[in-house]
Amino acid sequence: MVAPSISTIALPRILRIGGGASRQLPELLATLGLSRPFLVSDAFLEQSGMLEPILSGLAAAGIAARVFTGTVPDPTSASIDAGLEALRGGEHDCVVGFGGGSPLDSAKAIAMLAVHGGGMADYKVPHVQDAPGLPIIAIPTTAGTGSEATRVCVITDSETDEKMLCGGLAYLPVAALVDHELTHEKPWRLTADTGIDSLTHAIEAYVSRRANPFSDGFALSSMRLIAPNLRRVCAEPTDAVAREAMMLGALQGGIAFSNSSVALVHGMSRPIGAHFHVPHGLSNAMLLPTVTAWSAPAAVHRYADCARAMGIAAEGEGDQSAVARLVAELEALNRDLKVPGPADYGISAQRWRDLVPVMCEQAISSGSPANNPRVPDAGELAGLYDRVFAA
Ligand SMILES: [Fe+2]
């Protein structure tokens, strides 16, 4: 039993950060004593040509990689099984994930199952999978999930449509190549959604009941990087300085929540994504202002710190005023980044209402709402889903 005042921190062994870092994959593999990578990516990255430099770099170093590009957005247990079968068609000593959150989470799940077997439904929370699978190397192509530095992955159960949170050290990459140049072509909507996801990680890690001084430092630094640069990368996609700041902010947000936790926004967001196929960052954005306003009374000082880190409240300003600015800023950010409400997204009010009980059940069973500074009971949770639909 770990004493409550002791924080257990886990990080990738190697992080290489900077423009061009992804080109160092062959050298990184050599450093780690690995030579038979299984590469997990997606069809879009393959067709867009982004995967090619990675493969030609490996080929030039005499490393024969096999590639699986059958990952899907919001990866499902069926897509993971397909990836696992592909991996078993060769002899591999590691899994390289190249892409956004979906390919990275797929790489994590495949690497774990390659050693431990079974299906992902056997590994959802509260199960903790610390015993290692194959080593994972992560190369993110979005500034978003921070998955390159986290010990979690989210896989949708193909049978039940539940977005399963799976956690443990088996999912923590041994190394990550964090190359902002891979994000420069990212489309506007993806830039906005993944950026809000990163901001949500940082805020939730900081206000979480599991926050600690280590995670706090990364969470605040992440907010300082993301807040002034999110609108900027949307307005100026080729702004390399802003892209680099967003990539570092996303990484730091990932480190923060992996060593603290996410909370109510993510807990409520996963069921929306699973049932209505709303992209993860977008469903977070739909929830963030309402959930922040509801949660803030339980941790006014912590939310006020978030406002200060984001540069929207002065250092000497009172906490209540700073929190009001935070909620207003999150609403303004959604307007500026054209985040639709659930109805505008095309979700029917009736179907939403019908699914609220299931969404509440799935949100609570993920464990994330229990980390929130204000913990909702089932009735309050349903009320929040209603409020978000009406907002
Ligand atoms: Fe997230």
> How far apart are the CA of 36 and the centre of ligand 1, in A?
30
CB atoms within 5 A of ion ligand 1 belong to 197
CA–CA dist 170, 313 (Å, integer): 40
Q: How far is the CA of 51 from the centre of ligand 1 (A)?
A: 24
What pLDDT, in 10s, does the model give residues 329-342?
999 999 999 999 99
Q: How far is the CA of 313 from the centre of ligand 1 (A)?
A: 25
CA of 80 to the centre of ligand 1 (A): 20
pLDDT of residue 367 exceeding 80, the answer is yes
pLDDT of amino acid 391:
81
pLDDT at position 23 over 90? yes
Higher pLDDT, 272 or 1: 272
Angle between helices 213-226 and 240-258 (to 10 degrees): 160
Characterize 212-227 residue by residue with b for buried, 16 or more Cβ atoms within 10 angstroms of its Cβ, and e for exposed: bebbbebbbbbbbbbb
CA quadruple 264, 270, 273, 276: dihedral, nearest 10: -80
Q: How far is the CA of 267 from the centre of ligand 1 (A)?
A: 10
Residue 369 to residue 308: CA distance in whole angstroms:
25
CA 391 / ligand 1 centre spacing (Å):
21
CA–centroid distance, 197 to ligand 1, in Å, is 5
More confident residue, 73 or 97: 97
What is residue 370's predicted lDDT score, i.e. its pLDDT? 97
Calculate how far, in angstroms, residue 59's C-alpha sits from the geometric centre of ligand 1: 34
pLDDT higher than 70, residue 54: yes
Q: How far away, in angstroms, is 280 Cα from ligand 1 center?
A: 7
Count of CB atoms situated within 10 Å of the CB of 132: 17
β-pair partners for 70 = 42
Task: At 178, give phi and psi (nearest 5°).
Answer: -105, 95
pLDDT at 212 over 70: yes
For the residues 174-188, what does the mean pLDDT come to?
96
Ligand 1 mean position, distance from CA 310 (Å): 19
Other CB atoms closer than 10 Å to residue 252's CB: what's the count? Answer: 26
What pLDDT sits at residue 161?
87
Helices within the chain (DSSP H only): 25-32, 43-47, 52-60, 77-87, 101-116, 188-207, 213-226, 230-235, 240-258, 264-276, 280-295, 300-309, 319-336, 349-365, 378-390
Residue 4 — very low, low, confident or very high, per pLDDT cuts 50/70/90? low
Closest CA to 390 of 353, 357, 338: 353
What average pLDDT does this structure show over 238-249? 97
Q: pLDDT digits over 370-391, tens only?
A: 999 999 999 999 999 999 999 8
CA-to-CA distance for 195 and 200, rounded, in angstroms?
9
Residue 1: pLDDT above 50?
A: no
Cα 56 to averaged position of ligand 1 atoms, centre (Å): 32
Is residue 62 within 8 A of residue 115, CB to CB? The reply is no
- The CA 168 to ligand 1 mean position distance, Å, reads 17
Q: Are strands 152-156 and 66-68 parallel, antiparallel or unpaired?
A: unpaired
Query: Which pLDDT does position 142 carry in this prediction?
Result: 94
Residue 95 has pLDDT above 80, yes or no: yes
Whether 374 contacts 292, CB under 8 Å: no
Distance 352 CA to ligand 1 centre (A): 21
Mean pLDDT of the chain: 96
Please tell me whether the overall predicted TM-score, pTM, comes out greater than 0.85 for this model.
yes
Share of the chain above pLDDT 90, in %: 95
Give 269 Cα–ligand 1 centroid separation in angstroms. Answer: 9
User: How remote is the CA of residue 196 from the centroid of ligand 1, in Å?
Assistant: 9
List, for residues 305-318, the tens digit of each pLDDT value: 999 999 999 988 99
> Distance, CA 169 to ligand 1 centroid (Å)?
18
